Structure 1
């Protein structure tokens, strides 16, 4: 009895030891199998998408206004003018038209003063002359072409735009693409302007050059 009892006791100890070894190895293998790479085990970093005014490529500094201007695409898609995240003119707003689309903005407050479009193919150019001569001293002038901005362009109109800081107004012709931001009291040529000549061999839209995009930060006028 004593021998059999000792044998059962040793058998119990042997089974217990084997069980502990198996449990230990299983736990080790399990931990090893499910261990994730360090970068997967971390909490995902919160990604913040910073929205800029008018969807500019970067934010404007303090005391600067954000703007973005698109010319029209051929005679199909109209232009758009955005200023300080406010869409002043666009096809969606249904307030754009063939020719020159112009928005006037207060250069100090950013308030929209007026917007209008002028048919430069079959319209009356004297209406544009009157509009340009009445631009207030403190106003910023944002311009986008659509379809044809040049057929009715007169020397007087070219000179008025040149006085607003344009470098290309005197070259503007039939179906050219043009976007521009200027001011009545500017001392030199505006850095905010793009121009693309209607050239049949280079045009993107058959009879029209491709649309132009102009964005930037214009300093607030402080008086």
Structure 2
């Protein structure tokens, strides 16, 4: 009787030991996976990033668990090019973005070297010609001015332009009307900055320009669209103009 019981219980005991061994092995594997999980992007980068290719934001957030908040913020900023340009400007140039005003509702905006220097929020953009003068060597903003060419005085514009010194950059954007009261003298001063379109600027045309005092020839940074009620986007005003580029820095 005892032998029979022993023989019957023997295999049962072995099966229990085997089950316990399998369970222990599974627990060890699970613990190992939990330890390795935070480092999955290091061990299997191609698999990890394939799961996060749906958007640029997803790729950026993939780094979030592995860097400090300040470093992550800096890493995100490096992916953003100055003034919204699609590519970074080469060394020795300044990035810029100029937008004319949309009809008489949305004022113009000028961004230079990653900083907004003229906009409605800065309270230095208004009807007429909006101008920013910048040091061509350092990229520092010297001054801005806005000149109403519908009911303002053109003399203030002329004095502003005459005060522009050599080796400075000049960025201009229109809003509403930038031409009604402009004179040949004012047009000539702007042409000396490298503008080819200033002489044909008319009532409510949209125009953006980037040039400089002492520039040789015509600036490649200029856009102009005529006010034509047949083709206008905003009834009495043409569509908004936007121009981006990399302006060469003045070297000593």
Shorter-chain-normalised TM-score: which range? Answer: 0.7 to 0.9
Distance in 1 separating the partners of 2:154 and 2:234: 26
Matched, 1:11 2:8: yes
Match 1:60 to one of 76, 89, 92? 89
Could you tell me how far 1:100 is from its partner in structure 2? 0.3
- What is aligned with 1:99? 128
Matched, 1:81 2:110: yes
Could you tell me how far 1:136 is from its partner in structure 2? 0.4
Distance in 2 separating the partners of 1:88 and 1:133: 21
Distance in 2 separating the partners of 1:27 and 1:167: 81
Equivalent runs, 1:193-208 vs 2, <5 Å: 193-208=222-237
Write out per-residue CA displacement over residues 34-81 of structure 1, whole angstroms, 9 at most, x where no aligned residue: x9xxx9982364274223333333222222112221111111111112
Structure-2 change in CA distance of 1:15 and 1:164 (3 Å) = same
Distance in 1 separating the partners of 2:144 and 2:208: 15
Match 2:140 to one of 111, 115, 118? 111
Q: Which has the larger radius of gyration?
A: 1
Q: Which of structures 1 and 2 has the larger relative contact order (alpha carbons within 8 angstroms, sep 6+)?
A: 1
Could you tell me how far 1:160 is from its partner in structure 2? 2.2
Distance in 1 separating the partners of 2:24 and 2:232: 71
RMSD (Å) for aligned C-alpha atoms: 2.8
Could you tell me how far 1:133 is from its partner in structure 2? 2.2
Could you tell me how far 1:26 is from its partner in structure 2? 7.4
Write out per-residue CA displacement over residues 63-107 of structure 1, whole angstroms, 9 at most, x where no aligned residue: 211222111111111111222223221100111110000011111
Task: Give the secondary-structure state (helix, strand or coil) at the position aligned to 2:158.
Answer: helix
Write out per-residue CA displacement over residues 155-188 of structure 1, whole angstroms, 9 at most, x where no aligned residue: 3322222221112112211111111100111112
TM-score (norm. length: structure 1): 0.84
Matched, 1:175 2:175: no
Could you tell me how far 1:22 is from its partner in structure 2? 5.4
Matched, 1:46 2:63: yes
Structure-2 change in CA distance of 1:194 and 1:20 (3 Å) = farther
Could you tell me how far 1:130 is from its partner in structure 2? 2.2
- What is aligned with 2:67? none
Could you tell me how far 1:202 is from its partner in structure 2? 2.4
Structure-2 change in CA distance of 1:199 and 1:19 (3 Å) = farther
Match 1:187 to one of 216, 220, 235? 216
TM-score (norm. length: structure 2): 0.75
Unaligned runs of 5+ in 2: 42-47, 49-61, 65-74
Task: Give the secondary-structure state (helix, strand or coil) at the position aligned to 1:42.
Answer: helix
- How many equivalent residue pairs? 216
Matched, 1:122 2:151: yes
